[in-house]
Amino acid sequence: MDMRTSALPATLSDATPDLKPVAVTRWSARLANPQCERDYRLHRFADDRRRALLMMGLGAVAGGLNFLVELHAYLHNASGFYALVPPFATIWLPLAGLLLVRRMRTPGALEVLLVAGVVVSMTVRLIMVTLHPDMPSMGPTVMVGVVFVIYLYLPISFMASVALAAAFSVVAPFWWSLSQGPPLPPDQLYRTLVWLLLANAFGCIAANSLHRSLRMQFSQSLLLQQLLSTDALTGIANRRRFDSALEREWRRCRRTGPPLSLLMIDVDHFKPYNDQFGHQQGDECLRQVARLLLDAVRRPADLVARYGGEEFLCMLPDSGMAGALAVANKLAAALRQADIYHPRSPAGARLTISIGAATAKDLAGEPTALVAFADKLLYAAKAAGRNQVKVGQLSIGNRTARAA
């Protein structure tokens, strides 16, 4: 065996990514990757908004029941007209919140609205407690219940819930104590503070566990999606991911009008290479080819994928025939510059590629037509002697092709 086979470095296995779940921070209960955290919040946004709508609806129902109680007391001269104002506010404030929540389009805006809504709602509830100094037992029950709602139901971030619950736990006991007129017995105030402390401790632990668990599930799903969309041999996108991306870009380009180009790439005379050096060296060769293609294609929207065997695909959104030809020539030049030794290749004992470059401007029909046309151009390049590029433009009837 020729010693020049060592031109393939042993580190090519690094082309396969080290797939690990995104870590979740212990104390703040967030995904360590900021982009993944944003993706998680967008993923949860629809459910969070539905939960907020349900909470607002239940708040309006509770406010209506309180209002009926106060109205009954007012009609029987058991309370003044002023006592009707807070329960009436607890009806229309949640209803106004319903309308605002329905208009929210981002997780950040929803969180700000919910925090502001809780502050206003709790202020109204504390005013209602103030108007009933003859019901001292209602205060601790309301406060503990509010703390658990903030921690375990309110769809906001963990740190925001901790800050909101802590602020409420400081303000509410003193407000309640001052609202009772005569000073509360020390033992009653002490028991209230103990219950609030326990509620915050249990609520904080439970909320942290819940937030971390949900994010870990999301992280695992990201890992699974990455595994399902990554070619195990080369570490680049696989056929599944390519089909999904092509379908998405086809719809976008058909809607907005720009062309879409596709390169189908075949490693020339790869079977003789495998016969010469063995399948293990052949796998290393495919890894190097994949890395060279990936390094040569730089635009974020472009996608390099393994089609199967020694065939690769390169999708180029918003690129016409001239752009597709330029990228194809760049890829072929990258292979020539790598100078991978192939003693049984007619092209000067080095590895080469053949490319079929198809462009679609009229994106009627299905994206499979573009794949079939690129495959047809690739076979034309191979029939013409390999180590070359054939380009063409897909028409409605798939009849127009200009070779180069």
pLDDT tens for 234-248 read 989 999 999 999 999
Q: What phi, psi does 283 have (nearest 5°)?
A: -65, -40
Beta carbons of 249 and 237 less than 8 angstroms apart: no
> Is the pLDDT confidence value at 265 over 80?
yes
pLDDT of residue 12: 34
pLDDT of residue 157: 92
pLDDT of residue 183: 66
Cα 155 to chain centroid distance, Å, stands at 18
The region of weakest confidence among 168-172, 201-205, 314-318 is 168-172
Mean pLDDT of the region 339-364: 89
> Is the pLDDT confidence value at 78 over 80?
no
pLDDT of residue 129: 67
| Distances 208 to 15, 153, 183, 196, 400 between C-alpha atoms, Å | 37, 13, 36, 18, 61
Q: Which one is predicted more confidently, 401 or 123?
A: 123
Cα 339 to chain centroid distance, Å, stands at 40
| pLDDT tens digits for range 12-22 | 333 444 556 78
Secondary structure (3-state) at 358: strand
> Is the pLDDT confidence value at 112 over 80?
yes
Beta pairing, strands 353-360 & 389-394: parallel
CB neighbours of 30 closer than 8 A, spacing ≥ 6? 24, 37, 157, 158, 159, 211, 215
pLDDT of residue 188: 78
CATH of domain 236-394: 3.30.70.270
> Is the pLDDT confidence value at 217 over 60?
yes
**pLDDT band at residue 97 under the 50/70/90 scheme:** confident
Whole-model pTM: value is 0.68
Closest CA to 95 of 67, 73, 75, 70: 67
Alpha helices by DSSP H, 182-320: 186-228, 239-256, 270-277, 279-296
Mean pLDDT of the region 51-63: 88
Mean pLDDT of the region 190-196: 87
pLDDT of residue 45: 93
> Is the pLDDT confidence value at 55 over 90?
no
Closest CA to 294 of 351, 249, 235, 240: 235
pLDDT of residue 2: 34
> Is the pLDDT confidence value at 359 over 90?
yes
> Is the pLDDT confidence value at 207 over 70?
yes
pLDDT of residue 13: 37
pLDDT of residue 136: 53
Distance (Å, rounded) from C-alpha 188 to C-alpha 93?
Answer: 32
Instruction: Tell me the sheet residues that pair with 237.
Output: 230, 305
pLDDT of residue 334: 93
pLDDT of residue 204: 94
Give the pair of three-digit tokens for residue 139.
Answer: 């205060």
DSSP letter string, 315-380 = EEET--HHHHHHHHHHHHHHHHHHT-B-TT-TTTSB--EEEEEEEESS--S-THHHHHHHHHHHHH
DSSP letter string, 181-192 = SSPPPHHHHHHH
Give the pair of three-digit tokens for residue 124.
Answer: 């109204």
pLDDT of residue 65: 87
Distance (Å, rounded) from C-alpha 148 to C-alpha 137?
Answer: 18
> Is the pLDDT confidence value at 398 over 70?
no
Q: Max alpha carbon distance in the chain (Å)?
A: 106
Q: Which one is predicted more confidently, 318 or 9?
A: 318
The region of weakest confidence among 183-187, 188-192, 331-335, 392-396 is 183-187
Q: What percent of the chain has pLDDT over 90?
A: 47
Side chain identity at 137, as an amino acid letter?
Answer: S
Beta carbons of 308 and 239 less than 8 angstroms apart: yes
Mean pLDDT of the region 320-332: 94
Tallying the residues shown for the chain, one arrives at 404
Q: Residues of 82-93 as b/e, b for ≥16 C-beta within 10 angstroms?
A: ebbebbbbbbeb
- Quickly tell me which residue has 């993706």 as its tokens: 39
pLDDT of residue 14: 39
Domain layout of the chain by residue ranges? 34-227, 236-394
pLDDT of residue 401: 47
Q: For Cα atoms 140, 144, 150, give the angle at the middle one, nearest 5 degrees.
A: 145
| pLDDT tens digits for range 33-49 | 898 899 999 999 999 99
Look at the alpha carbons of 322, 323, 324, 330 in this order and tell me if their dihedral is positive or negative: positive
Query: Between the CA atoms of 365, 368, 374 and 379, what dihedral angle is there, to the nearest 10 degrees?
Result: -120
